Amino acid sequence: MAVIPKNFYMRDPEQVARDLLGAIIVRTYGSTRLACMIVETEAYYGVEDPASRARRGGDLARTLYGDVGVALIYGIHRQWLFNIVAHGEGSGGAVLIRAAEPIEGAEVMMRLRRVRDLRNLMSGPGRLTRALAIDKYFHKKPVYVRDYGLWLECGLRISDEDVVRTHRIGVTADLEKPLRFYIRGNPHVSRSK
């Protein structure tokens, strides 16, 4: 499978979030290979977005406005959340990976998560990072090369009629535009509020 190239992420985060549905995340964990298909994403912008970490300044803000195609990992409520920096020229933004469908290495993921139910395995941003053993180590590491053990590959092309758009989940202040995307009818999508 082809690795998704860096220029894929040099676009509006909304567009990238939509096109990431169906893409494959690959993680080499020791000698085992874990793989899953993205089924739910959310787009975040820079300082103009009330829900963006860019508003708080610091390293996360600089990362959001920095090189595209790198992972942005940040901790909240005892979970690690996995984002990929994506934005146009001179802008800031990222895509949060919220849920995925296990494809390869499900047994290892179950051990990492301590659950047996496939539907609960990666159906939430914190659950997903736990199942893939993603932590702060990957912060600012590019996901358009295989060098760091975490990368994205081209997968299923999802047609527009199978894409559902809603408002983002859990944010205290959202933008007017709905920025959450998920694959219609997929059982691995996280629960709504």
List the structure tokens of 185: 């009818």
Give min distance, CB of 122 to DNA, in A: 9
Using the rule CB under 7 A, is 46 a contact of DNA? no
185, with CB counted inside 10 A (0-12, 13-18, 19+), is exposed
Q: Which amino acid is at 17?
A: A
Using the rule CB under 7 A, is 18 a contact of DNA? no
In this chain, which of 103, 154, 171, 175 binds DNA, going by CB under 7 A? 171
List the structure tokens of 151: 């990368």
Is the CB of residue 99 less than 8 Å from the CB of residue 123? yes
Nearer to DNA, 2 or 173 (CB): 173
Size of the site for DNA (CB under 7 A): 38
Give min distance, CB of 24 to DNA, in A: 20
Using the rule CB under 7 A, is 77 a contact of DNA? yes
Nearer to DNA, 124 or 142 (CB): 124
Query: Rounded to whole angstroms, how far apart are CA atoms 41 and 48?
Result: 20
Using the rule CB under 7 A, is 31 a contact of DNA? no
List the structure tokens of 71: 């992972």
Query: Rounded to whole angstroms, how far apart are CA atoms 47 and 54?
Result: 5
- Which residues of this protein are in contact with DNA, per CB under 7 A? 42, 44, 51-53, 56-61, 72-79, 81, 83, 94, 96, 113, 115, 120, 124-128, 136, 168-172, 190
